[in-house]
Amino acid sequence: MANKTTAEKLATIQKGYTLEGATIELGAAIVDGELHKEAQVRLPLAMMNRHGLVAGATGTGKTVTLHMIAEQLSTAGVPVFLADIKGDLSGLATAAAGSEKLKARTDSIGQAWAGKTFPVEFLALGGDGNGIPVRATITSFGPILLSRVMELNDTQESSLQLVFHFADKNNLELIDLKDLRAVIQFLTSDEGKDELEELGGLSKATAGVILRELVNLEAQGLERFFGEPEFDTAELLRTAPDGRGVITCLELPTLQTKPMLFSTFLMWLLADLFEDLPKPATWTSPNWCSSSMRPTCFSTAHPRPSSTPSPPRSG
């Protein structure tokens, strides 16, 4: 196959990135080692309902790309959720100071640059960090999600459901892990023998397994996540008074040592948002966009409409 000339490659890129409707501008193409600002690289805003992956070696601009996507989504009125593991997205809250070097760079890729602040909120999982603490109660988490977190089998899961049923019937509030442990301990004690029998289907041995798993969860730092006041996930879907989407940064300084805490939170968050998010028949931009670093990927919370354009194929 004959090699394409630079002009032909450029023409292919330009054609591929000529898009209708609002777009997220990412930069300009480099062809044969040279930057061409006439060949802009962009994503259609309407396509941000898909999953995406920003990959590259260290220092190649993944974080900067994510910054740009978050800023432009916010400007388009889309609330954004960022899981900030390395703490390098907090700069969104403050306007950057320009410099000659920066101006030369942004001019060279055909972007107008101005330092801007964005409406940013900081959250901290279970209070691990300086942001607003994010917590959920055991009751709202429910037995099914909790079983997934504890990796319970079917029998153990239905036993846990019985424990929740017992607590509900007796108006016992299950706020944190201690509450759940206390109910199971009661049911397996001599005092709770009659109640256990009445419940049927919950054996002492299974209750023992669940108790052990609860201790495991505590050891992984989850007792700080379960509790009150419960975080209202609708907070993640807000727009600022000026119409820009609020960018919520979840600080995760201790993720390396508590991976279970983050995966549990994500499970709960997605289950909760799945219930709450509106599902319009047609739309031109996502209602909410989330991203997590390492791996850096973004995904949005909407079903794909059949009219969404195909991704550009050139490059």
The interface mask with ligand ATP, positions 62-81, x = CB under 6 A, is: xxx-----------------
Residue 126 interaction partner, one of Mg ion, ligand ATP, none, beta carbon < 5-8 Å per kind: none
Residues from 14 through 33 that contact ligand ATP (CB under 6 A):
27
The yes or no reply on residue 60 touching ligand ATP (CB under 6 A) is yes
The token pair at 230 is 């419960």
One-letter amino acid of 121:
E
Q: What's the rounded Cα separation, in Å, for the pair 144 and 60? A: 41
CB of 128 to ligand ATP, least distance (A): 21
The yes or no reply on residue 99 touching ligand ATP (CB under 6 A) is no
Applying CB under 5 A, the span of 59-67, 90-98, 163-171, 274-282 interacting with Mg ion comes to: 59-67
Applying CB under 5 A, the span of 55-63, 128-136, 258-266, 282-290 interacting with Mg ion comes to: 55-63
- The only residue of 14, 16, 25, 63 in contact with Mg ion, by rule CB under 5 A: 63
Output 295 or 303, the one with its CB closest to ligand ATP: 295
Q: Report how many residues bind ligand ATP under the rule CB under 6 A.
A: 10
The token pair at 180 is 């759940």
CB of 107 to ligand ATP, least distance (A): 12
Pair type for strands 247-251 and 80-84: parallel
Residue 229 interaction partner, one of Mg ion, ligand ATP, none, beta carbon < 5-8 Å per kind: none
Task: Tell the burial category of 93 from Cβ atoms under 10 Å away from its Cβ (0-12, 13-18, 19+).
Answer: middle
The yes or no reply on residue 105 touching ligand ATP (CB under 6 A) is yes
Applying CB under 6 A, the span of 9-17, 61-69, 149-157, 297-305 interacting with ligand ATP comes to: 61-69
